[in-house]
Amino acid sequence: MSVPELGRLGFGAAGIGNLYRAMDDGVAAAAMAAGWDAGIRYFDTAPHYGLGLSERRLGAFLATKPRDEFVISTKVGRILDPAENPSGAKDTQGFDVPADVVRRWDPSEAGIRRSIEDSLERTGLDRIDIAYLHDPDVYDLEAGISQALPALEKLRSEGLVAAIGVGSNSSAALRDCVLAADLDVIMLAGRYSLLEQPAAADLLPLCLDRGVGVVNVGVYNSGLLARPVVPDDANYNYAPAPADILAKAKALAACCDEFGVELPAAALQFAEAHPAVVNVVVGASNAEQITQTATRMAATIPAELWSALVSRGLLDAGLVHA
């Protein structure tokens, strides 16, 4: 594994790509500055996030920082092509931006190279440190494995990127990719959290065995674990939480509260504690959120909390890591 040092916490830049709602440039800049001031030095983005807006905003901010003091990752697989948009239509994939470009899946070597070149142009930076193949299972996992991963290996051998990996919501897809290629890191979304840990069965042990670092994202499960008190209308996997999932989240929150711990703090620190995990990336839509996240990551959590979660059947004892 040749992953640059990432620190404990990373900044997820989907929010500054106008995820769900438009964000003023100043608010986005303040959020990134707050992350930097909190000690965050790893920033993750993607062309998908705001149809390039996230990369442009992040690049403008990082251009003011010493290049050797931060790590940036972006994604490949989705090319952005110009689109005619005479009506000023908005993006239909969750970002409040004009649909002036369209996403196109291209796992070929030419597509991967173009994606990196485009990202360098949008960010204005001299290099990308980590390149992830983005959600290959959404499009064509077989093509992603057979075409994109060898292309990424080639780019790494040429020194165009320092490390390569795959990002996905699917633990099974990530396992297939780890088995098929010489990856440095994976980005695991939502499948190893305080609420659920399907990746613990085979993916995380495989990563440990192969020396593949795990960047853990989506650790709040679409916001379900993001607040000390779980609301009745909370979402899970971007939809209203089912009754059984909501009940478990509320039970986790109640147990945390008994020990004077906020549920989000426990969620963050649990997500980081597995020995395969090298970083936890969390998004933010303003400066206050990222500052609060950093404070929660540094909070003291008594060992008795984890024991209580185990005794109440809310957590498997084998998943408690000192």
Give me the active site residues, please.
49
Question: What span, in angstroms and rounded, lies between the C-alpha atoms of 186 and 72?
Answer: 14
Structure tokens at 130: 């980590």
Please give the angle made by the CA atoms of 109, 62 and 288, to the nearest 5 degrees: 115
Structure tokens at 153: 């290996």
Q: In the chain, what is the straight-line distance between the N-terminal and C-terminal CA atoms, in Å?
A: 23
Closest of 247, 192, 252 to residue 225, by C-alpha: 252
Residue-wise DSSP of 58-73: HHHHHTTS-GGG-EEE
Question: What span, in angstroms and rounded, lies between the C-alpha atoms of 272 and 278?
Answer: 7
Query: Which burial class, exposed, middle or buried, applies to 122 when counting CB atoms under 10 A from its CB (0-12, 13-18, 19+)?
Result: buried
Please, which residues bridge with residue 130 across strands? 73, 163
